[in-house]
Amino acid sequence: MTVTLRTDTVPDPRDRHEYLRQIVRDTVVPLNLHQERSKVNHWGEVIRTDLPCGSVARMSAYPTHIERTPRLIREADPDLCQVQMHLEGTNQITEGDERAQIGPGEVVVFDPHEPFDAAVGHPVPGQASDGIARVVNLMLPRPMLDLRGPRDRITQARLSCRNPMNSLAASAMAELDRQHLAGNTDLVVHLTSVIADLLSFGLAHQLESLSAVTPETRENALLWSVRRFIEEHLADPSLTTRTVAEAHNVAPRTLQRLFQREGTSVVDHIRDRRLDRCRRDLLDPSQRGKPVAAIAFRWGFRDESHFSRRFRDRYGAPPGAYRDAAERSVANGHPPGANGQ
């Protein structure tokens, strides 16, 4: 179940600081909070979904200084890891003598078992901002990260820009945030597992301990990378199993095995994703005047007749008839996609 908690629902402004601290405690771990605004003007919002294996939250607040002290660790020290990506604002985290500055789109993993302090929410220089920091926060059981050995320090757990998993983890976190806000809990649970695999592989690569990663984790990380690559290259008519394999330095048969595990093939996956993009364009009122063939060619199909047959097989009508039916449906007051369209 997803809940939204806001400090401005508390009638007495003097109680909002303590309410914000309690929200963060229940969502992450016990922390000391100090906003730069006066306590009566403290503001924060958390949209949180509890999962079978942790929780995900969109957290928004004015710039805040956070402390995780030894006393608070003794108060509550769950076996969890915190995965965080800023959407807006920065996060400068200090642990002992080590410091890491995290900007929007960067993913960091750290262990609440270690004391730290952080300055969260200051605007990125040169970027427009309403002064509010927005963060995607994922709490995962530590065993899900599949990391062996001692607890990792924060600067080691940050995915550097040179890490090949950095952009993949960031894209997965952004998708997690979108699906969470949309209330698609089943997809959120799936994405949580995807993120755990990407982080396990990425951190092991960064810490030079790839031998500690299980084959299943490696394969799951590869599958996400391949799917993202395909999405980004659907418009390329030369996209094939071989070109995808070459881009990932694996044999085509390795990709086939991964997709067979999912009940499909690389070729079928590419075709189905292209058909879905074409369907979206056909339903888009802004593209009503664009010929069907132009839409098909835009998404990598080379032959209009072949596209039309494939589209009919998948959606039950030729693309032109499908578009006409959708337009009639809208004219009759039904949303696009109604009645099977």
Give dist(CA 190, CA 165) in Å, integer. 18
Confidence of residue 151 (pLDDT cuts 50, 70, 90): very low
pLDDT at 185 over 60: yes
Q: Average of pLDDT values for 107-119? A: 84
Residues in the chain: 341
- Residue 153's pLDDT is 46
Which parts of the chain are beta strand (E)? 2-6, 32-35, 44-51, 54-61, 64-68, 80-88, 90-95, 98-102, 107-110, 116-122, 133-141
Q: Are 69 and 41 in contact (CB under 8 A)?
A: no
Q: Are 79 and 69 in contact (CB under 8 A)?
A: no
Q: Which amino acid is at 200?
A: S
**Residue tagged 């992450």 (tokens):** 28
Give dist(CA 322, CA 336) in Å, integer. 11
Count of CB atoms within 10 A of residue 331's CB? 8
- Residue 150's pLDDT is 46
CB within 8 Å of 25: residues ≥ 6 apart: 31, 76
CA distances from 21 to 39, 117, 150, 333 (A): 11, 15, 30, 47
Q: Average of pLDDT values for 211-221? A: 76
pLDDT at 210 over 60: no
Two tokens at 188?
């959120």
Confidence of residue 128 (pLDDT cuts 50, 70, 90): low
Q: Are 188 and 180 in contact (CB under 8 A)?
A: yes
Residue pLDDT, tens place only, 225-282: 899 899 999 999 999 999 999 999 999 999 999 999 889 999 999 999 999 999 999 9
b/e per residue 79-90 (b: at least 16 CB within 10 A): ebbbbbbbbbbb
Q: List domains and CATH numbers for the chain.
A: 2-232 (2.60.120.10)
pTM of this prediction?
Answer: 0.72
Give dist(CA 134, CA 121) in Å, integer. 8
Q: Lowest-pLDDT range, 37-51, 246-260, 312-326?
A: 37-51
Residue pLDDT, tens place only, 71-105: 999 888 888 888 989 898 888 888 777 777 888 88
pLDDT at 212 over 80: no
In what side-by-side order are the strands of the sheet with 32-35?
Answer: 32-35, 64-68, 116-122, 90-95, 98-102
SS3 annotation, 150-161: CCCCHHHHCCCC
Mean pLDDT taken over the chain: 85
pLDDT at 172 over 50: yes
**Residue tagged 């597992």 (tokens):** 193
Q: Average of pLDDT values for 38-53? A: 85
